[in-house]
Amino acid sequence: MARLHLFDLDGTLLYGTAAPVEISRQLGLDREIAELERDFVAGRIDSRGYAVRVHDLWAGLTDSHVAAAFDGAPWLAGIRETWDEIRANGDYCAVVSLSPSFFVERLLEWGAHAAYGSRFPAVPFAEPVNPAGILNAAAKVKIANRLCEEFGVGRADCVAYGDSLSDLDLFAAMPVSVAVNADPRLVDLATHAYVGRDLWKAYELVRTPVIEAIDGGGPLNSE
């Protein structure tokens, strides 16, 4: 049976930061985005309120800003190599994030089978953000269920990777999970935990490659 690996973006694939933070830095809005992040983490605004406010902040955003933010972001090492092996094993990898889809979807070029983010207007913005397209923690589970159906994978064969409270619902729904540089409350819920800057090492915690044993035995675990 194939497996589906579901990756969060902010704080998981990105080390110690989030896509909106990296985008805002390109616009010189470090102070403004830091304040917005504090409000979101403290629960003073939800994901939809965050999206409306960040959309207002990004009035001057262009594709060049987004590309520079993506290319200059502190990504974990080993993302492409990890996804290459997942693909080679006949498994699937997907990214599900609350961050803007125009940033998240760039990871399709790195080998993700699917990439879902909050739906923002096209850049540069010519219309307001539609709150209905903004994801939350519950939406991550709904998307995971949709991907399971699309790829013919059961929940029993899913692995979730995340770092924050927005991943709690997904971790609770999946039998195997890897907390990556995570909030202690998520670590308590996860089946595995990793601290570091290499996705391959996080993946190794759940990696189960099939190896042909010399004696004709079954699959072996490489760890």
Where exactly are the structural domains of the chain? 4-15+75-204
Which of 41, 44, 39, 36 minimizes the C-alpha distance to 20?
A: 36
Cβ density class 72-104: b for 16+ within 10 Å, e for less: ebebbebbeebbebbeeeebbbbbbbbbbbbbb
**19-26 helix and 47-57 helix, angle to the nearest 10 degrees:** 10
- Condensed to tens digits (0 to 9), the pLDDT of residues 18-55 reads 999 999 999 999 999 999 999 999 999 999 999 999 99
Please list the ranges in the chain whose pLDDT falls under 50. Answer: 210-223
- The pTM for the full model equals 0.92
CATH of 4-15+75-204, one of 3.40.50.1000, 3.10.28.10, 3.40.50.720, 3.30.2080.10: 3.40.50.1000
CB < 8 Å & 24+ apart, contacts of 66-70 = 66/23, 66/26, 66/102, 66/103, 66/123, 68/26, 69/19, 69/22, 69/23, 69/25, 69/26, 69/103, 70/22, 70/103, 70/106
Which pLDDT score, from 0 to 100, does residue 209 have?
Answer: 54
Which pLDDT score, from 0 to 100, does residue 30 have?
Answer: 97
